[in-house]
Amino acid sequence: MKIGVVLPIAEETAGDGVPNYALVRRLALDAEDAGLDSVWVFDHLVFRFDGVTTGIHECWTILSAIAEATTRVELGTLVMCTGFRNAALLAKMAATLDHVSGGRLILGVGAGWHDPEYDAFGYPADHKVSRFEESIGVIAELIRTGRADHDGRFVTARDAVLAPPARVDLPILIASFGPRMLRLTARYADQWNTAWFGAPDQQLVDARAALAAACEEVGRTRALTTTVGVNVRYPGAPPSDEPALEGTAEVIAAALAAYETVGVEHVIANVQPATRETFAAFCEAVSLLRERRSRDA
């Protein structure tokens, strides 16, 4: 099982400020040095809840810089909102970043959900899944074949070409929950993401069963990698009602092992608060897990 971490590119609480790039870069290097498999960034433009606005860096710019700073870890987007970028351009961006990183990109995409950022930046917030359906068709076609033609209600690509081409096995990840999005995942994705969890629970079992049903419905037979977003909370984290792993390195290692036991192939940890100290504590848990795995092998 692979294990990665989310890099902190947004304010955790109002007024604490967006982390500077030096810290983001340092945490990415800490994760790589500790032997983690991947680093991830969220894609948002602004957050507005109950009249309070908080900020975030633009994810693709940050990830491009991290691609140059690191040498080994996979680089993932969790997930790029197709409503914020032209579909063909997004495929072009992915091909380029994958080239810069030496083939380390996982292109995570989704339909988006936070209407205030659509409104603030002038993007239409209606028909999110329908817009996504047209976008992912163009993105997948360009990455897999190098060309795409589409004249849809929301998305247009006229003899679009990726030159230079993308790596044909560049993995496409889709984050999905509802029936339509799960069917699109089954149709187009190499990897599927569901989030956010603490320990594995019945909700995860039900989500995986729904995905299996969607795969059967569309006639998918090839493997689909399961990735799961997991909150890992340490002292000092902002208050939250979301489920999370908490406790000693031994406790967290045992919880991660439970994900491996149920067949999850990639855990993506949202470490809270995101500091060098908490990243080190999480990496200690991962090291314990791998030591136990090595002993049992």
Read off the CATH number of the domain in which 40 is found: 3.20.20.30
Percent of the chain exceeding pLDDT 70 equals 100
Q: pLDDT at residue 285 above 80?
A: yes
Q: pLDDT at residue 292 above 90?
A: no
Give me the phi and psi of 76, to 5 degrees please: -125, 150
> d(Cα 15, Cα 2) in Å, to the nearest integer?
34
Count of beta carbons in the 10 Å neighbourhood of residue 288: 18
- Name 229's bridge partners: 268
Residues spanned by the domain of 49: 2-296
> d(Cα 293, Cα 106) in Å, to the nearest integer?
26
Number of domains in the chain: 1
At 94-110, the pLDDT tens digits run 999 999 999 999 999 99
At 205-236, the pLDDT tens digits run 999 999 999 999 999 999 999 999 999 999 99
> d(Cα 194, Cα 202) in Å, to the nearest integer?
13
